[in-house]
Amino acid sequence: MAELVGIFAASHGPLIAREWDRLSTSARDQLNAGFGTLAERINAMRPDVLVIVSPDHWVNFFLNNMPAFCVGIGDQHDGPPEPFLKPVFKHEVLAGDAALGRHIVDTALGADFDPSSSYRLTLDHGFCIPLWRLGLDPIPPIVPIVVNDIESPMPTIRRCLAWGRMLRQAIETFPQDRRVAILATGGLSHFIGVPGMGHIDERFDRICIDLFENAPDDRLAEELQRELLATGNGGEEVRNWVVAHAAAGSRGFELVGYAPLEETYVGCAFAEWRLTA
Domain with residue 84: its CATH number is: 3.40.830.10
Look at residue 107 and tell me whether its pLDDT is greater than 80. Answer: yes
Residue 194's pLDDT is: 85
Q: Does the residue 265 lie in any domain?
A: no
Q: Does the residue 33 lie in any domain?
A: yes
**Residue % of the chain over a pLDDT of 70:** 100
| 199 labelled catalytic | no
| 125 labelled catalytic | yes
Q: Does the residue 269 lie in any domain?
A: no
Among residues 12, 57, 190, 245, which one is catalytic?
190
Residue 233's pLDDT is: 83
Torsion sign (Cα): 99, 100, 101, 103: positive
Long-range contacts of 207-214 (CB under 8 A, 24+ apart): 208/238, 208/241, 209/255, 209/258, 209/269, 212/241, 212/245, 212/253, 212/255, 212/271, 213/253, 213/255
Domain of residue 62 covers 3-255
The count of structural domains within the chain is: 1
Whether this prediction's pTM lies above 0.95 is answered by: yes
Q: Does the residue 94 lie in any domain?
A: yes
Q: Does the residue 261 lie in any domain?
A: no
Q: Does the residue 114 lie in any domain?
A: yes
Look at residue 277 and tell me whether its pLDDT is greater than 60. Answer: no
Among residues 57, 125, 199, 245, which one is catalytic?
125
Q: Does the residue 176 lie in any domain?
A: yes
Residue 232's pLDDT is: 87
